[in-house]
Structure 1
């Protein structure tokens, strides 16, 4: 028994993505490959930005923070899921479950990091003469601190309320990780406050960044249309399209997961959505920002050239 909340349940069983044994090994290999690619991609992005002085700008400082969030977010979930693919019983202790739930703070932080990056692009394109002042190193540090603070506040609030929830008999979580909605389904006590908080925080964490991102891109689009230079317009569109792709992938899947009524059908649909925004999106972001960003490509080529010259 967990003394903190007088719960009879000391461990949970994760139902996972599928109950078909023949799919366990193929899925293990698939998600292992995705996770390895996620780690390598995001670590490479962080290291590349750190080593390349031309990338020591606010835009890439925020991008390296996004890569750290993606790396951390994926690491909180994927390794446990991979272990569950090759074990007979997908068990997670109550303490591990609550800990995993808390560190999903990185998901909340990503919402605000994408908003911060949208604001950075707005300043760079709409007010280029004031960019160095508006996006100074101090401002960037405060923005990143604010991003993590919003995540910590949300996570702490959810965990404090979750510790008051009782789990008596049911312990099978209809998901591949400890997510709030499936956990609340197992409660034998009132979860009204938890559900209201979940809905309010989910809506707030989607709407507030959206209210930053959408106006930013409206002004950005207006500015791009006024650019007469074809090369200048192309560069602005290229930079913004990468960020918009990341925003659409993350917010689209996240909103589908959270902003819907609880039901067994929606829970099963939510598994597919949660796989996308917790595992696939962290893998895609380094690809989006590297393949569609000329500065990153140039910096990468210079790093390879220095490495090759050092071997000679």
Structure 2
């Protein structure tokens, strides 16, 4: 009986993902199935649906269900200057190369609620590069994008953000960049002056400009191998010659079809440089 239930559930999941793609053009069909299954089970239980098929029926006939379901399917967990050694490597190793360009484009792919966007904006301000940089912050989740653009976070997260900033080699106090009140902090609006927030899918959308730095961390771990290759190929085609790509600690390019197009730049922080072809 358990085996039969799981087989039926697998069919339901594939049908729901197909419906999500055909109806709303969000494509999760090549995401790692184990991760998708866990998230959809959680959504079914917490939203009170008897079956995933019932959840699919609501999704097809009620557009307000879409952002709710996307909240389960997309992982929105981050923090400012997460993995401080990654940002220190950008500061110490990548920034000296970026200084040689008169103008810069930086893409934060899968920006979630914006913690990494503000981290890089602050880092670039501290290094004197902000005024020559345009940041592109993208995600497929509209609610996350709106949260990122607002730049408002719970006050109880600030201590961790501050410690991370300090460990990343921060040259100022993080408190210089936000105001606090009513249990929340709001980051300085000027940090968003050079940020473009945009809906973009690594699954279905095309090349996103010509970038000097792309940071996409802890996103591809949820993709299957073909989709990982698509994303890495997209990054390759979106990078300027000798541009930089930063990925998550548990991700790598070793088995990608595009591995030969990159060289390790800071191995321990998973920062790569595109070849000069």
Same fold by TM (over 0.5)?
no
Task: Determine which structure has more spread, i.e. the larger CA radius of gyration.
Answer: 1
TM-score of the pair, normalised by structure 1: 0.27
Q: In proportion to residue count, which structure has more strand?
A: 2
Q: In proportion to residue count, which structure has more helix?
A: 1
TM-score of the pair, normalised by structure 2: 0.30
